[in-house]
Amino acid sequence: MLDDLGQQNFAHNIDSLFIQPEIDRRQRAGMLPDRFRIRQCLIRLPKGRPPIVEFNNEFGWRVKPQLAPTVDPASMALDRPVYHHEVAAIENVYPPEVDGRRVAFICLFWTGYEYAAVFDFSPNHPEFDPKQEFELGQVIADHLQRRMVEIAVRLSKNTQAQLRQIGLWPATSLLPYPISHIVERVGSGHPDEARQILIAHCDARFIAELVETWQPIEAFRQRMTLFREAATTHSSQSFIATIHTLIPQLEGVITDWLLTVVNADELKRSSTSKVRQFQELIRPIPRFDFAYREALEATCQFLLEGPPLQSFTRWLDKIDPSFPGRHPIAHGRYDESLFSEENSIKLFLMLDTICQFMMFYEARRAAFDSDINDNL
């Protein structure tokens, strides 16, 4: 590990030895595009040959993917393009090569708030064994996984209207898959298939395991008996009871959590005002990944403008059945289409999304407080 000065010197050396000379060469040759920005850079260092410097989309990685359940591995021919919705996750990454031989390399990439670097100079050492395990593969795989999340959120934003029609938003536990597949289906005009993907993915076991991840947040932990019973009820397909149990907890967990962050006299009164207050508290947290920041905006917009808090002022008002609305259900309006397995799943997903943002906030706040204490 390098200290701060070591990191600065390393970054300076990479820039002066490899990046800036390549930029200068491209500028002289008229090969540098307008508004050129470095999002990522791979520098391969084959022994006895000039370095190979590539930027942004000029290079890729050989990866070991976890394919989506709907993809037949036998269909993945070498010359066949792989689409975003066909990959559920990146399990590992293979090391860079030149002419089929593993080479030393340096890789830089933008994380959303700073540049990170990984490097491996071992292939240039005389004692290097080309069969040794590539230890940095998982680090790069994690980076590519974050890129997949970013792409999934961007695609969700592009199809926000279609997602809204089936009562969905970029739920954090569905990123990057299966939201990528759901987006592909609604974008292709197949909303019913998108719904089936959601239901198949979020089975009873998925829901039960999801609920257990909420315990780090006190507002959720104190309701664990309620949430576990709701998960059990959901697994028995008693969706009317599950939805009636969960619908008031959307405001409940937000209210109790806000009271751990703001004074009681600062707490907003209406449910919509509480959602906005929640959004304003989460939005400025430091080192908040761009993808999840965008997901926050989409989630709060869905809560504020979509069916969860839809108005219900007259008994015969039309109800949006794509997501359980708090007001019609609380007032006893009965519409069979509201009480489906799909809508029960969506309530668990919305609670989970809210919980995830609370965890982001508390983790960043704890890290910030730790940094302050270290500097005292």
Closest CA to 61 of 112, 10, 121, 136: 136
How far is 261 from 101, CA to CA, in rounded Å?
55
What stretches of 111-198 adopt beta strand conformation (E)? 115-120
The model's pLDDT over 246-278, given as tens digits with 9 standing for 90+, comes to 999 999 999 999 999 999 999 999 999 999 999
Q: What is the pLDDT of residue 376?
A: 47
Closest CA to 95 of 117, 132, 62, 55: 62
The amino acid at 234: H
Q: What is the pLDDT of residue 370?
A: 56
Please list the residues that pair with 45 across neighbouring strands: 104
Token pair belonging to 146: 């974050």
Residue 3: pLDDT over 70: no
Question: What is the model's pTM?
Answer: 0.89
Q: What is the pLDDT of residue 367?
A: 67
Compute the residue count for the chain.
376
Would you give the distance in Å from CA 47 to the centre of its chain?
39
Q: What is the pLDDT of residue 371?
A: 53
Residue for token pair 């799909």: 342
Q: What is the pLDDT of residue 142?
A: 93
Please list the residues that pair with 43 across neighbouring strands: 53, 106
How far is 296 from 319, CA to CA, in rounded Å?
25
The model's pLDDT over 156-200, given as tens digits with 9 standing for 90+, comes to 999 999 999 999 999 999 999 999 999 999 999 999 999 999 999
Q: What is the pLDDT of residue 372?
A: 46
Q: What percent of the chain has pLDDT over 90?
A: 75
Q: What is the pLDDT of residue 165?
A: 93
**249 touches 228 (CB < 8 A):** no
108 or 317, which is more confident? 108
Residue 2: pLDDT over 60: no
Residue 349's φ and ψ, nearest 5 degrees, are -65, -40
Q: What is the pLDDT of residue 312?
A: 78
Q: What is the pLDDT of residue 118?
A: 93
